[in-house]
C-alpha cells in the first residue's frame, strides 16, 4: 500500500503543477519576463509526461537556457 500512496501523491503533485503552469498563460509578456520566462516556454513544459511536474521543465529552461532549437533569453533562477 505505501507504493500506491507514493504514486498517488506524485500524480496529485504533477496535476497541481500542470494547473499552476497553465495559469502562467494568463500573465502578460512583461510579467513572464519578470520571472525569467518567455511565453514560448509554457507549451513545452505542458508537453512533458503527464505524471511529471511541468514546473521542473520551467526551472530547467530558466536556469539552463533554451532547449535545443529554441531561441529565447532567460535569467538565472
Query: Residue 75 domain-assigned?
Result: no
pLDDT of residue 1: 58
Query: Residue 77 domain-assigned?
Result: no
Say if residue 6's pLDDT is above 50.
yes
Considering the entire predicted model, what is its pTM?
0.62
The alpha helices in 1-70, defined as continuous H runs, are: 2-23, 29-34, 42-46, 55-64
Say if residue 19's pLDDT is above 60.
yes
Is residue 52 very low, low, confident or very high in pLDDT (cuts 50, 70, 90)? confident
Q: How many domains does the chain have?
A: 1
Is residue 4 very low, low, confident or very high in pLDDT (cuts 50, 70, 90)? confident
| pLDDT tens-digit map of 22-51 | 899 999 999 998 888 888 888 888 887 877
Query: Residue 72 domain-assigned?
Result: no
Structural domain of 6: 2-64
Query: Residue 71 domain-assigned?
Result: no
Query: Residue 21 domain-assigned?
Result: yes
Query: Residue 40 domain-assigned?
Result: yes
Amino acid at each position: 500500500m505505501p507504493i500506491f500512496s507514493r504514486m498517488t501523491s506524485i500524480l496529485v503533485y504533477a496535476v497541481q503543477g500542470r494547473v499552476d503552469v497553465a495559469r502562467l498563460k494568463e500573465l502578460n509578456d512583461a510579467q513572464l519576463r519578470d520571472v525569467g520566462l518567455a511565453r514560448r516556454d509554457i507549451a513545452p513544459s505542458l508537453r512533458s509526461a503527464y505524471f511529471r511536474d511541468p514546473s521542473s521543465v520551467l526551472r530547467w529552461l530558466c536556469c539552463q537556457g533554451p532547449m535545443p532549437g529554441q531561441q529565447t533569453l532567460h535569467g538565472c533562477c
